[in-house]
Protein backbone atom coordinates (compact mmCIF):
# COMPACT_ATOMS: atom_id res chain seq x y z
CA UNK A 1 0.00 0.00 0.00
CA UNK A 2 2.82 2.41 0.84
CA UNK A 3 4.53 1.77 -2.51
CA UNK A 4 1.32 2.65 -4.38
CA UNK A 5 0.93 5.95 -2.53
CA UNK A 6 4.59 6.83 -3.08
CA UNK A 7 4.33 6.09 -6.82
CA UNK A 8 1.28 8.36 -7.09
CA UNK A 9 3.23 11.19 -5.47
CA UNK A 10 6.12 10.68 -7.92
CA UNK A 11 3.82 10.73 -10.95
CA UNK A 12 2.89 14.36 -10.32
CA UNK A 13 6.51 15.35 -10.98
CA UNK A 14 6.92 13.74 -14.42
CA UNK A 15 8.56 15.72 -17.20
CA UNK A 16 9.64 15.29 -20.81
CA UNK A 17 12.40 12.72 -21.18
CA UNK A 18 11.57 10.84 -17.96
CA UNK A 19 11.56 7.04 -18.16
CA UNK A 20 8.18 5.63 -17.09
CA UNK A 21 6.41 2.32 -16.66
CA UNK A 22 2.74 1.45 -16.34
CA UNK A 23 1.60 0.70 -12.80
CA UNK A 24 1.18 -2.97 -13.73
CA UNK A 25 4.74 -2.97 -15.08
CA UNK A 26 3.72 -4.37 -18.45
CA UNK A 27 5.01 -1.51 -20.62
CA UNK A 28 7.79 1.05 -20.26
CA UNK A 29 8.79 4.06 -22.30
CA UNK A 30 9.67 7.76 -22.31
CA UNK A 31 7.59 10.86 -21.61
CA UNK A 32 7.31 13.02 -24.73
CA UNK A 33 5.44 16.00 -23.25
CA UNK A 34 2.91 17.06 -20.65
CA UNK A 35 -0.34 18.52 -21.99
CA UNK A 36 -1.95 21.68 -20.56
CA UNK A 37 -4.63 19.61 -18.82
CA UNK A 38 -1.97 17.52 -17.02
CA UNK A 39 -2.19 14.38 -19.14
CA UNK A 40 1.07 12.71 -20.13
CA UNK A 41 2.04 11.90 -23.72
CA UNK A 42 4.54 9.06 -23.74
CA UNK A 43 6.12 6.69 -26.26
CA UNK A 44 6.54 2.99 -25.41
CA UNK A 45 9.96 1.44 -26.02
CA UNK A 46 10.36 0.09 -29.55
CA UNK A 47 7.23 1.81 -30.89
CA UNK A 48 6.48 4.83 -33.03
CA UNK A 49 3.07 5.28 -31.39
CA UNK A 50 2.41 7.87 -28.70
CA UNK A 51 0.05 7.12 -25.82
CA UNK A 52 -1.80 9.72 -23.78
CA UNK A 53 -2.84 9.04 -20.21
CA UNK A 54 -3.19 10.35 -16.71
CA UNK A 55 0.03 10.76 -14.74
CA UNK A 56 -1.46 8.52 -12.04
CA UNK A 57 -1.34 5.59 -14.48
CA UNK A 58 2.47 5.77 -14.77
CA UNK A 59 5.39 5.47 -12.41
CA UNK A 60 8.92 6.71 -12.87
CA UNK A 61 11.55 4.05 -13.58
Looking at the predicted structure, is the pLDDT value of residue 8 above 60?
no
Q: What is the pLDDT of residue 13?
A: 80
Q: Are strands 58-60 and 19-22 parallel, antiparallel or unpaired?
A: antiparallel
Domain CATH for 16:
2.30.30.30
37-46, long-range: CB within 8 Å, 24+ apart, which pairs?
Answer: 40/14
Q: How many CB atoms lie within 10 A of CB 4?
A: 9
Structural domains counted in the chain: 1
15-34: average pLDDT:
95
The residues near 54 (Cβ < 8 Å, ≥ 6 apart) are: 38, 39, 40
pTM attached to this predicted model = 0.78
Question: Which residues span the domain enclosing 52?
Answer: 2-60
Amino acid sequence: MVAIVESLCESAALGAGDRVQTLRGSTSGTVVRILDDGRVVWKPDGSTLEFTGLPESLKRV
